[in-house]
Structure 1
Amino acid sequence: MPRVTIKEIARRCGVSQGAVSYALNNQPGVSEATRARVLKVAAEMEWVPNRAARQLSAARSETFGLVLARTAQTLIEEPYFMGFVGGVESVLSEKSYALALQVVADLDEELATYRKWAAERRVDGVIVVDLRVGDPRIPLLRKLSLPAVLVGDPALADGMPCVWTDGTAAMNAALDHVASLGHRDVARVAGPPEYGDVWIRDRAFEVATRRLDLTGQVRHTDFSAVEGVAATRELLGNGARPTAIIYDNDLMAVAGLAVVQGQGLRTPDDITLVAWDDSTLCRITHPALTAMSHNIVGYGAEVTHRLLDLLNGAQPQAHLYSTPLLIIRDSSGPPPG
């Protein structure tokens, strides 16, 4: 489709092209009412900046963007993103780059943030997390010509550059471990099913339980401690109580351990627990938690290096960073009896 031009926006708004340029570039010279009208019309017409013209008229912002569509409470509690952001910052600080970190309520706000950043030339590129199946952010980023590295499996990236960890191999390792201990009834407390990494683990869990002839149950949550508690209580309270539970993050695993102990059960004598990510939380609990471990700080750093390479002309590609490694600790044991 033909590109919407500043001239067309100016005609629709009844103002000069210069006024439209000031408004779209967040520069002084127009009233706030005019700026608001121009931005509204530009959004309605799906205007996107001309990347070639932008590169001629402005230098790099030396800023990368990262949008997190999570609740503030989950981000406060969840160790994963603090480690990941720490890895991003470790690279950016060496390059004298800044990180624009935006926490939003949902996917629609995230899409709006990318449009705003592109229109204002706020960032040179973005790191995109929590990929979805058929992710609407991918076509938008292409339309905006906004350089991006996606954090997730190539099956979710639709040909865009991505960095990923092998969730299928990790889930196989976790289930092979509990099966080798003799467990036949296994449950998984998972993240939101619309997230691509969760979807990949869902499929891996289903295939592996069939391969190992296990009875499997899955409870989807929002990754929070509150829902980790609720899911664990439900699993322990039903008639088909599992003897092993695998959690999609450390936070829910620690919350689940508290539920087990609060019900007078013992880990691992009555139930084996396996966490994911292996933050410090897994090592300071009693008993210490078996976990699928990978270097989260290094993951964030690798993604950032790949985005810098992309800006410097590297060819877009998918890069496997790691396969999470099973670390066996005191929460693993054979089933009761």
Structure 2
Amino acid sequence: MRTEMARGKSRHVMARRPTIKDIARRAGVSESAVSFALNDRPGVSQDTRARIRRVAEELGWQPNSAARALSGERSGAVGLVLARPAQTLGVESFFLQLVSGIQEVLAADRVALLFQVVDGIDAECAVYRRWWAERRVDGVLVVDARTQDPRPELLALLGLPAVIIGGTASGGAGSAEGTGGEASSVWADDARAMAQVVDHLHGLGHRRITHIAGLPDLAHTARRIASLRADAKARGLDPEHVRSVVTDYSDTEGAAATRRVLAEPEPPTALVYDNDVMAVAGLAVAAELGIAVPGRISVVAWDDSALCRVPHPRLTALVRDTAGFGRLAAEELLAVLAGSPPRARESERPRLEPRESTAPPAAAY
């Protein structure tokens, strides 16, 4: 009985977080020396500093983020909030790849990522206010820039460093359109990407093109819609036959939009989807309706993924390094936290990968 109690007590002691006192005892130095060594302050020799850090690593010691925040030091964490319908996140590979790239950079710098999903932009702003008040994060990564976006200005007022993922190259330091806030941004050239798609489809002979777009208040959706209109006009295409239909990015709305446009008296001969999930859903609708792809309708997906390469026919898609986009954003935020001024950085430009889902339109359709 005593043996079992002793074992239980030992296990309890081992589970306790190591403290500065434990490090001092093991290293044979004072607690103040440990504090100096772990906080990069003068007062101990290089040999002693190295010994203390070695002991701290052996014991698995980590700084207390709450105590560091109260003392005015960094929390060692950055935040990311997603204000998207929850049902659209579970099936879309873009955010998983983006976060993997972000985490790769942050982990190498021993910075934690605090992640939260909310139901709208107001709730997102409330999270930023709470994180700032509690000193939970040193900065934030902001996704889904809006056409009228309150977040850059709010973050500037709070003094919370930020990088806008999907901002623009214009607007000062890449702030979201229509805002007074100034923050660093990383951006992709959606306009030139859409131009590649239109070039490809127009070259094949398509004159009736429908863009199944995402959420209408997102800045990148607005850029893609505007680019489609401008490219169609430059080629003399009828604006009645080249248009965009907005959705919430989900497979459900993507399928519903596909069903509606294919039922029109003059249906499109090509469909361009704003993500891979909607493109695959559209492919399924076409099969259900007996509409051959690419025989009667061509299909293009934005942001290539395994979903685009699995179905038959494989989907023509815009390819980009989404994880690299995340790495660039994380690197920029770390640079801002180190004192770099706000700036806009362009990510690798998407390129179109033609596959079996696009072909010249059937003459009789």
| TM-score where L is the length of structure 2 | 0.76
Once the two structures are TM-superposed, the CA of residue 185 in structure 1 deviates from its matched residue by 0.5
The alpha carbon displacement at 1:195 in A equals 0.4
Find 1:312's aligned residue among 338, 342, 345.
338
SS in 1 for 2:347: strand
- Unmatched 5+ residue regions in structure 2? 1-67, 177-181
The residue identity in structure 2 corresponding to 1:103 is V
Counterpart of 1:74 in structure 2: which amino acid? T
Among candidates 299, 324, 328, match of residue 298 of structure 1: 324
* Residue 285 in structure 1 maps to residue 311 in structure 2: yes
Distance 2:340 2:231 in 1: 37
Measured after TM superposition, the shift of residue 254 of structure 1 is 0.6
3-state SS in 2 of match to 1:313: coil
1:238-271 CA distances to partner (integer Å, 9 max, x unpaired)? Answer: 1120000101111110110100111111111111
Determine the structure 2 residue equivalent to 1:270: 296
> Residue 187 of structure 1: SS of its match in structure 2?
strand
Pairing partner for 1:134 from 148, 161, 167: 148
Tell me how large the CA RMSD over aligned residues is: 1.4
Alignment of 1:193 with 2:216, yes or no, is: yes
For residues 136-195 of structure 1, what are the alpha-carbon distances to aligned partners after superposition, in whole Å with 9 as ceiling and x for unaligned? 011100000000000122346154210000000000010010000000100000011110
- The alignment partner of 1:277 has SS state of coil
Choose from 152, 163, 178 the match for 2:186. 163
Q: Say whether residues 1:222 and 2:244 are aligned partners.
A: no
SS of the aligned residue for 1:154 comes to: coil
1:1-337 correspondence runs (5 A): 57-152=71-166, 153-155=168-170, 157=175, 159-214=182-237, 215-337=241-363
Q: Is the 8 A contact 2:191 2:224 kept in 1?
A: yes
Distance in 2 between the 1:270 and 1:64 partners?
48
Q: Is the 8 A contact 2:84 2:119 kept in 1?
A: yes
| Contact 1:184–1:213 (Cα < 8 Å) also in 2 | no
1:254-306, CA deviations, whole angstroms, 9 ceiling, x for partnerless residues? 11010011111111111100000101111111110001111001100110000
Q: Quick one: which amino acid aligns to residue 114 of structure 2? A: A
1:322 shift after superposition = 2.0
Q: CA deviation at 1:217?
A: 2.2
* Aligned position for 1:32: none
> In the alignment, residue 267 of structure 1 is paired with which amino acid?
V
- Structure 1 window deviating more from structure 2 (94-103 vs 113-122): it is 94-103
C-alpha distance in 1 between matches for 2:349 and 2:206:
24
Identity of aligned residues (%): 45
Residue 56 of structure 1: how far off its partner (Å)? 8.8
Q: How far does residue 55 in structure 1 lie from its aligned partner after superposition?
A: 7.9
Secondary structure of the structure 1 residue equivalent to 2:302 = strand
User: How far apart, CA to CA, are the structure 1 residues paired with 2:82 and 2:70?
Assistant: 31
Q: Give the match's secondary structure for 2:333.
A: helix
Distance 1:96 1:161 in 2: 22
Q: In the TM superposition, what whole-angstrom CA distance separates every residue of 1:94-116 from its partner, at most 9, and x where no partner exists? A: 11111111000001100000000
> TM-score scaled by structure 1?
0.82
CA distance in 2: counterparts of 1:244 and 1:55, whole angstroms: 54
Aligned residue type for 1:263: L
Greater relative contact order structure (CA < 8 Å, 6+ sep) = 1
Letter in 2 for 1:58: G
Q: How far apart are the structure 1 equivalents of 2:202 and 2:209?
A: 9
Distance across 2 between alignment mates of 1:296 and 1:128: 15
Assess, with a 3 A threshold, how the Cα gap between structure 1 residues 155 and 198 changes in structure 2: closer, same or farther: farther
Count of aligned residue pairs for this structure pair: 284
One-letter code of the match for 2:185?
Answer: C
Range that drifts further, 149-158 or 132-141: 149-158
Larger Rg: 2
Q: Give, as a single letter, the amino acid of the residue that structure 2 aligns with 1:198.
A: T
Amino acid at match of 1:205: L
What is the deviation of 1:123? 0.5
- CA separation in 2, counterparts of 1:322 and 1:295? 7
Paired AA for residue 205 in structure 2? G
C-alpha distance in 2 between matches for 1:213 and 1:240: 18
CA contact (8 A) 2:161 2:183 kept: no
